[in-house]
């Protein structure tokens, strides 16, 4: 079923808007990098509250499975705050796109961030022409990073390709055109923890 959204569908709703969601991500990353405060609510009470009242994450983040790139830490987010889709190389295929559509349509997250990172093993493997058992990921990356001058440029191209793939989904494009969703890209700097929003 195709749903046509208009801005009216989102007037007065209680979901966090895209600008506020982006501001929370930026402030969270600042706190993370400066190590000002590492306290988050992971209490049994919070677990129970989310179970009883359901989740209402303020943003969806697609990022790499790399163990150093953990969105809940990077943005200082607690339980129930981020809908996170992690896959090697932060590639977007049908499964990742469907997961994002679920979060944006049904959970009404209004910011969809693709977070690439520096020193990504999946991107290095793609640039090195590795295939074999990892080809399902590296082939997707190799297609979009051909011609990149260096791994950093490749990571930028890979984020852009993921955004393009998400915008090719009618459900997400409609939400964006209705002003109910903002898509954004960012790069996590693995050596220092800083996120650059593109």
Point out which residues bind Zn ion (CB under 5 A): 64, 66, 120, 122
Q: Which is nearer to Zn ion, 64 or 92 (CB)?
A: 64
Nearest to 113 by CA among 17, 3, 25: 25
The answer to whether 127 and 102 have CB atoms below 8 angstroms apart is no
Scored b (16 or more CB within 10 A) or e, 57-94 reads: bbbbbbbbebeebebbebbbbebbbbbbbbbbbbbbee
Residue carrying the six token digits 């790139």:
69
66 annotated as a binding-site residue: yes
117 annotated as a binding-site residue: yes
Query: Residue 9 CB, nearest distance to Zn ion (Å)?
Result: 35
Query: Residue 122 CB, nearest distance to Zn ion (Å)?
Result: 5
Q: Which is nearer to Zn ion, 103 or 122 (CB)?
A: 122
Q: How far apart are CA 181 and CA 17, in angstroms?
A: 8
Cα–Cα distances (Å) from 84 to 11, 77, 111, 128, 156, in that order, read 25, 11, 12, 28, 20
Query: Residue 89 CB, nearest distance to Zn ion (Å)?
Result: 6
Q: Which is nearer to Zn ion, 120 or 180 (CB)?
A: 120
Q: Which is nearer to Zn ion, 72 or 105 (CB)?
A: 72
192 annotated as a binding-site residue: no
Nearest to 90 by CA among 59, 63, 72: 63
Query: Residue 86 CB, nearest distance to Zn ion (Å)?
Result: 10
Query: Residue 111 CB, nearest distance to Zn ion (Å)?
Result: 21
Q: Which is nearer to Zn ion, 23 or 136 (CB)?
A: 136
| Neighbouring C-beta atoms of residue 165, cutoff 10 Å | 20
Binding annotation: 64, 66, 117, 120
Binding residues for Zn(2+), by number, are 64, 66, 117, 120
């Amino acid at each position: 079923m195709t749903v046509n959204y208009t801005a009216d569908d989102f007037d007065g709703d209680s979901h966090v808007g895209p600008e506020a969601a982006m501001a929370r991500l930026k402030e969270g990353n600042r706190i993370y990098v400066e190590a000002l405060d590492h306290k988050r609510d992971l209490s049994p009470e919070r677990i129970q509250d989310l179970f009883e009242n359901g989740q209402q994450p303020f943003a969806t983040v697609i990022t790499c499975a790399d163990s150093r790139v953990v969105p809940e830490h990077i943005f200082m987010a607690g339980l129930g705050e981020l809908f996170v889709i992690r896959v090697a190389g932060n590639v977007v295929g049908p499964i990742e796109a469907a997961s994002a559509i679920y979060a944006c349509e049904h959970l009404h997250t209004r910011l969809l961030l693709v977070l690439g990172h520096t020193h990504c093993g999946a991107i290095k493997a793609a640039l090195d022409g590795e295939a074999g058992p990892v080809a399902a990921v590296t082939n997707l990356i190799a297609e979009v990073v051909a011609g990149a001058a260096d791994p950093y440029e490749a990571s930028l191209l890979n984020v852009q390709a993921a955004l393009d793939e998400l915008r090719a989904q009618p459900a997400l494009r409609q939400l964006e055109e209705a002003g109910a969703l903002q898509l954004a890209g960012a790069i996590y700097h693995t050596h220092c923890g800083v996120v650059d929003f593109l």
